[in-house]
């Protein structure tokens, strides 16, 4: 007798489709969780970078009694062009970031764009890179110092911690270090000049919305007039060469017998620099109110962001785009991370109250924060 051949057991086409659909649903459910876990890890590494940077800033301050200058040049405002001296705060921090050899290869006698400094400019230093940021093989910095509270060119009169020829000390932080932003994440714009450049490549302000394009300022929101007594700087102008500034006083400071990089970079004060701000000015002197709080009857109340001043600034920037600086931003969803003056690192959401954000970018506005951030 012949045994009847039975058909082999197998899967039907419909069953295969069902299995594929189930796998697809599982992947769709798990993939966001995996991506979120990866982003959390990248964000944690970014936090560590900012922690190391702010520790380096404080180590620098402990040795020199001032924070590193945001950028060095003989005149201002700073143009975001590859010409000028433009040695910046990140260069000054290199010895405090286990980068002494890199620091030793920088030629102080010429600007950062000089061919002598090109080998160092091309280095992609890991601590300056946020793991979440897209990389293009260029030596950018994903972190920038706070130079001002509102959108304005980088100059000696800025209200942040790092600005042109700045020599900010701990005692200049009239709001307290825990209420002052030092360093934040930035997104790289076209034409970024790299991590060594003391331009908008490494300096930004809180006058532009987080994760927003330059020029998108907080116009129409409440702000304040600046208190009297802010240090006034050297006359504004343009320094268009790639060599060491020829300002005699600056040269003496940088190249004199006791000129030690970076220690004496902060020994120079502009001729017409004002005295330190008197804390009493944050009582009735500067604002007409006590303890820097608002008085309903006072005339110098919070108001729209200095419309005439802002309009003039934006008009200047429009006619000369290289003066534009821009704000902070990141590849992290919903906001950007900042290193605060007290050494902490905090996430600042895009939805932060604009008034609070402006205040955090000002080292000595003397106002109380209206809300937590």
Give 164 or 29, the one with higher predicted confidence. 164
CA-to-CA dists, residue 219 to 115, 329, 354, angstroms? 41, 19, 10
Does 316 fall in a domain?
A: yes
Give me the pLDDT at residue 8, please.
64
pLDDT, average across residues 169-188 = 92
Flag whether 209 is in a domain. yes
Q: What is the mean pLDDT of the chain?
A: 74
Task: Please check whether residue 33 lies inside any domain of the structure.
Answer: no
Q: Across residues 164-183, what is the average pLDDT? A: 93
Contact yes or no for 62/155 (Cβ under 8 A)? no
Does some domain include residue 311?
yes
The 3-class secondary structure across 20-85, one letter per residue, is: HHHHHHHHHHHHHHHHHHHHHHHHHHHHHHHHHHHHHHHHHHHHHCCCCCCEECCCECCCCCCCCC
In a domain, 347, yes or no: yes
Residue-range definition of the domain harbouring residue 262: 50-360
Q: How far apart are CA 195 and CA 193, in angstroms?
A: 7
Task: Establish if 220 belongs to a structural domain.
Answer: yes
Confidence of residue 371 (pLDDT cuts 50, 70, 90): low
Contact of 124 with 139, CB cutoff 8 Å: yes
Q: Binning pLDDT at 50, 70 and 90, where does residue 2 land?
A: low
Q: How does pLDDT run across 9-25, given as a tens digit for each residue?
A: 667 888 888 888 988 88
Region of residue 2 (phi > 0: left; psi between -120 and 50: alpha; otherwise: beta): beta
Q: Say what the pTM is.
A: 0.69
**Is the residue at 180 inside a domain?**
yes
**Residue 301 and residue 16: Cα distance in Å, rounded?**
70
Integer angstrom CA distances of residue 278 from 227, 228, 247, 369:
10, 9, 30, 20
**What is the pLDDT, as a whole number, of residue 213?**
61
The CA-atom distances, in angstroms, between 17 and each of 11, 12, 13 are 10, 9, 6
Give 171: exposed, middle or buried? Use CB within 10 Å, 0-12, 13-18, 19+.
exposed
> Would you say residue 191 lies in a domain?
yes
Residue 211 tokens, joined: 């994760």
Q: How much of the chain, in percent, has pLDDT values that exceed 70?
A: 66
Closest by alpha carbon to 215, among 155, 163, 161, 152? 152
When mean pLDDT is compared across 8-22, 113-127, 347-361, the lowest value belongs to 8-22
Q: Tell me: the pLDDT tens digits for 142-160?
A: 999 999 998 899 999 999 9
Burial of 359 (0-12, 13-18, 19+ CB in 10 A): buried
The total domain count for the chain is: 1
């Amino acid at each position: 007798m012949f045994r009847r051949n039975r058909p082999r057991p197998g899967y039907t086409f419909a069953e295969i489709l069902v299995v594929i659909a189930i796998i697809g649903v599982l992947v769709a459910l798990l993939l966001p969780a995996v991506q979120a876990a990866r982003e959390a890890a990248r964000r944690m590494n970014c936090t560590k970078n900012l922690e190391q940077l702010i520790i380096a800033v404080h180590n620098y301050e402990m040795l020199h009694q001032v924070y590193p200058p945001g950028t060095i040049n003989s005149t201002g405002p700073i143009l975001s062009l590859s010409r000028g001296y433009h040695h910046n705060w990140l260069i000054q921090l290199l010895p405090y970031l286990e980068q002494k050899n890199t620091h030793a290869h920088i030629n102080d006698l010429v600007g950062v764009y000089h061919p002598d400094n090109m080998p160092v400019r091309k280095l992609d230093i890991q601590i300056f890179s946020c793991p979440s940021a897209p990389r293009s093989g260029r030596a950018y910095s994903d972190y920038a110092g706070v130079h001002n509270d509102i959108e304005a060119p980088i100059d000696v009169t800025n209200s942040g911690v790092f600005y042109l020829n700045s020599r900010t000390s701990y005692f200049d932080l009239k709001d307290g270090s825990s209420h002052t932003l030092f360093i934040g994440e930035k997104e790289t714009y076209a034409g970024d000049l790299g991590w060594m450049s003391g331009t908008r490549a490494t300096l930004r302000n809180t006058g532009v919305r987080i994760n927003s394009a330059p020029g998108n300022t907080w116009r129409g929101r409440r702000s304040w007039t600046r208190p009297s007594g802010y240090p006034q700087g050297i006359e504004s102008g343009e320094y268009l060469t790639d060599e060491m500034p020829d300002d005699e006083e600056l040269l003496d400071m940088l190249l004199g017998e006791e000129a030690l990089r970076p220690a004496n970079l902060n020994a120079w004060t502009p001729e017409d620099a004002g005295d330190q701000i008197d804390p009493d000015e944050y009582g009735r002197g500067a604002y007409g109110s006590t303890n820097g709080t608002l008085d309903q009857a006072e005339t110098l109340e919070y108001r729209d962001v200095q419309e005439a001043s802002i309009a003039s600034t934006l008009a200047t920037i429009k006619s000369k785009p290289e003066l534009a600086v821009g704000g902070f931003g990141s590849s992290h969803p919903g906001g950007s991370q900042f290193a605060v003056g007290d050494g902490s690192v905090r996430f600042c959401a895009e939805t932060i109250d604009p008034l609070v954000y402006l205040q955090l970018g000002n080292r000595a506005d003397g106002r109380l924060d209206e809300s937590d951030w």
